[in-house]
Structure 1
Amino acid sequence: PNQSEAVLLFLCSIQSEAVLLFLCSNQSEAVLLFLCSIQSEAVLLFLCSNQSEAVLLFLCSIQSEAVLLFLCSNQSEAVLLFLCSIQSEAVLLFLCSIQSEAVLLFLCSIQSEAWAS
C-alpha cells in the first residue's frame, strides 16, 4: 500500500494533464479519494477543470469540507452549476454555510425554481 501511495504521489507531482486524465478516467474510488486527500490545489483544479460529471459527483459524495471549499473557491460557473444540479441537500447546505459572497450571489443568479420552493 505504501508503494502505491508513493507512485500516486509521484504521478500527481509531475502534474501531467495526460496522467491526471488517466487517473480520473479509470474512476477508481481509491485513486480519486487519494487525489483528494493530498489536497494539492493544482490536482483539485484539474479534477474540476476536466468537468467530468462522474468525477465531480464523486468529489461531492465524499463530503470533505476541504474539497467542497476548494470546489467553491475556484468559482468556476460550470462547477457551481453542477454542484447545484445534483440537488444534494448536504452539498447545498454546505454551499450556503461557507457564506462566500461570490457563491451566494451565484446561487441567487441562477434563479432555479428549486430554490423558490
Structure 2
Amino acid sequence: MTKPKDYVITANTINPERLTVPSLWWAQANSEKKLLDNWIAYPASEKEPARVDLIVNQQIWSLLDYVERYDFVNRLGSTARNFGYNIRVFNYQKEPLATYTCNFSTSPALCSIQTTVKNKIGLERLL
C-alpha cells in the first residue's frame, strides 16, 4: 500500500491539482477511534468494477458490536458509492471482514452489506 502502481490510489496518494477520486481522506480522518488505518482504490477494469479495499485496526474492529460495524461499513460504503466504487474491509492479516457492493447498472444503484460475525465456537462467517 505504500508503493502503488499508477492506476491505484491509496491514503498516501495526493493529487495537488484536483480532487483525487475516490476521496476517503475525510472519512479516514474522522474515523471514530481510528478504526480505518489505510485504503487502496482500484479503478474499474473490463473484468471487475471499481473497488476500494479498506484496512482496519483489528483490535478496534473486534471491540465493535454488529450494529457499529454495520454503521461503519455503511458510511464508508456510501461515500465510495458516490464515486462509483464498492468496498471490501480487511484486517492486516488480509482476512475479509465486510463488503459493501452495488449494482451500478440500476438507477438508483442497488447495494448490499455483508459482514462477518463470530459464532459461539469462534468461527467467522459472512452475513
Structure having the higher strand fraction is 2
Structure 1-normalised TM-score? Answer: 0.25
